[in-house]
Amino acid sequence: MTDAVRLGLLSAYRGLLQPLVRILIRNGVSFSELAEILKSVFVEVAERDFNLPERRTSQSRIAILTGLTRKEVAKQKTVDSAALGLTGNLNRVTRVLMGWHTDQAFTGPYGMPLELPFESDTGSDFVGLVRKYSGDMAPRAMLDELLHVHAVERLATGSFKVLMRAYIPENFHPDALQRVGQVIRDFVNTVEFNIGKRPGLGRFERVVLAEEGLREDLMPAFDALIRAKGQNLLVELDNWLSAQELTVTAKNRGGKRTKTGVGVYHFVVPDD
Tens of each residue's pLDDT in the chain, 272 residues: 788 888 988 998 898 888 888 888 877 778 888 888 899 889 989 988 888 877 778 889 999 999 999 988 888 867 654 445 444 566 788 889 999 999 999 999 888 999 999 999 988 999 999 999 987 789 999 999 899 889 999 999 999 999 998 877 766 677 777 788 888 889 988 988 998 888 888 999 999 999 889 999 999 999 999 999 999 999 999 999 888 877 666 556 667 788 899 999 999 987 76
Residue 262 is predicted with a pLDDT of 93
Same-domain pairing of 7 and 70: yes
Q: First CA to last CA across the chain, in angstroms?
A: 31
Same-domain pairing of 147 and 110: yes
Q: Is residue 156 part of a domain?
A: yes
Residue 252 is predicted with a pLDDT of 62
Range of the domain at 229: 207-251+263-267
Same-domain pairing of 149 and 94: yes
Q: Is residue 185 part of a domain?
A: no
Q: At what angle do helices 3-26 and 174-194 cross, to 10 degrees?
A: 170
> To which H or E segment does residue 216 belong?
none
Domain boundary pick from 49, 76, 103:
76
How many structural domains comprise the chain? 3
Same-domain pairing of 148 and 97: yes
Q: Is residue 242 part of a domain?
A: yes
Q: Is residue 102 part of a domain?
A: yes
Same-domain pairing of 153 and 109: yes
Residue 80 is predicted with a pLDDT of 56
Q: By the 8 A CB rule, do 170 and 149 touch?
A: yes
Phi, psi (degrees; rounded to nearest 5) at 108 = -110, -150
Q: Is residue 228 part of a domain?
A: yes
254: left (phi over 0), alpha (psi -120 to 50) or beta: alpha
Question: Is 248 buried (19+), middle (13-18) or exposed (0-12) by CB count in 10 A?
Answer: exposed
Q: Is residue 188 part of a domain?
A: no
Residue 107 bridge partners (DSSP) = 113
Q: How many residues does the chain have?
A: 272
Same-domain pairing of 62 and 101: no
CA distance 117 to 156: 11
Q: By the 8 A CB rule, do 57 and 47 touch?
A: yes
Residue 237 is predicted with a pLDDT of 93
Same-domain pairing of 71 and 102: no
Q: Is residue 12 part of a domain?
A: yes
Domain boundary pick from 46, 76, 106:
76
Residue 22 is predicted with a pLDDT of 86
Same-domain pairing of 70 and 7: yes
Same-domain pairing of 112 and 158: yes
Q: Is residue 190 part of a domain?
A: no
Q: By the 8 A CB rule, do 116 and 125 touch?
A: yes
The Cα-based distances of 59 to 38, 62, 68, 70, 104 in angstroms read 17, 5, 10, 6, 51
Same-domain pairing of 13 and 56: yes
